[in-house]
Amino acid sequence: MRTLFATLGAFFVLSTSARPAAGHACVGDCDGNGVVTIDELVKGVTIALGERSVGQCFAFDVDGNQAVTVDELVAGVSAALTICQPGLPTLTPTPTGPATTTATPLETFTGSPTSGARWERRTPLPQPRQEVGVTALEGRVYVIGGFDATARVVSTVQFYDSAAEAWFDAASLPQPLHHVPAAAVDGHVYAIGGLRTLAFTAVDTLYEYDPVADHWESRAPLPAPRGAAAAAVIDGLIYLGGGLRGNSVADFAVYDPSRDTWTPLEPMPTARDHLGAAAIDGILYAVGGRAGRLFDVVEAYDPTTRQWSTRHPMPTARGGLAVAALGGRLFAMGGEGNPADPHGIFPQTEAYDPVADAWSTLPDMLTPRHGMAAAAVGERIYVPGGATVAGFEASAANETLEP
């Protein structure tokens, strides 16, 4: 760290008159305003020393390994001393054409004869997006907000019609958001909390979408702001667990759409963000996530007893994964933080049987990703969007798992 502090010292005495244009994100630009300041450099140092979490400034964590190294700090200092050069992985949009009414699967991966599981490619998203909210309603798979291929936060909302196998635009969110959980109840779609800008500022907003009117409306705000949380629906109620509010949180609350009210509940046993959740037979399962390290934790919540219990851990610890339930099983797909992969991504697909309290392994994803979510329609689980590199590398992939 001695070299780092020497460089920081040089920064204090140099002129700061030459600054880049606003809106140009780079290493250490925590607030995304195109300028790396002394305060941001100090924040990077405290993250490196373990005094703050990476969630305080993801712009320093270039390789997405949930740590800040001397090299990453020096890159931030360089951006402050010279010009604010982008230091995140190169953003290469996935080539896509216009959405068509017919999807021809490009590749299929079939598991062993005993599993019968297979992945298929579907019509890709019209534009690459990552850190999106995903939910299904009446045969449509909604993809909400996120980052585009230039790491710009968007308010875009689109849905995939599983019958027509084509994409359609919907009304945009009232504000650009990323890491926004989504759920569907009684003919409406909900965008729940989320994060704003490259500063990853948590919000407490709740937006309800009416597909008939093609309109979003504000509803009762969350008890506390948070993004990168996980949502699941049980008996017409939306449960929201974990998330990010500067640091990882264990918040747990339930929303009643009919009353437009939130009720805080017993916190999750493990505070974490970038987790997944799904409900099976009236029980909510919170899976994986991260909070300075990756988790294989599986915790179950029973609304009738209002108690949490610990279940058999997931075989692969990971955050930024997609989770969905289908046919009485829970499926965990992809994720971020893989030290064995040059891109830092997990390709694993694993299935959990709550009756046996056991996990099984299914075929790997065709396009390993993180920062996506999943939703089940019929006999398929749809996994649209995400990123193919830890950090930023938005993808337009849209693939289905048939377990």
pLDDT for res 53: 66
- Read off the pLDDT of residues 57-98 as tens digits, 9 standing for 90 and up: 767 776 666 688 877 787 777 677 654 544 333 333 333 333
Residues of each domain in the chain carrying CATH 1.10.1330: 2-81
| In the predicted structure, residue 293 carries a pLDDT above the cut 50 | yes
pLDDT in tens, 254-277: 999 999 999 999 999 999 999 999
Q: CA-based angle 139:144:148, to the nearest 5?
A: 130
User: In this structure, which CATH number among 1.20.120.10, 1.10.760.10, 3.40.50.80, 2.120.10.80 belongs to the domain 108-402?
Assistant: 2.120.10.80
DSSP 68: -
Between CA 369 and CA 371 the distance in angstroms is: 7
pLDDT, tens only, 169-182: 999 999 999 999 99
Residue type, 211: P
Indicate where the chain has its CATH 2.120.10.80 domain(s): 108-402
> What CA–CA distance (Å, rounded) separates 390 from 139?
31
pLDDT at 95: 34
Residue 40 or 104, more confident: 40
Predicted local confidence at residue 300, as pLDDT: 98
pLDDT above 70: percentage of residues in the chain: 80
Q: Report the CATH number of the 2-81 domain.
A: 1.10.1330
The predicted model gives 46-63 an average pLDDT of: 71
Beta bridge partners of 310: 299
Q: What is the mean pLDDT of the chain?
A: 85
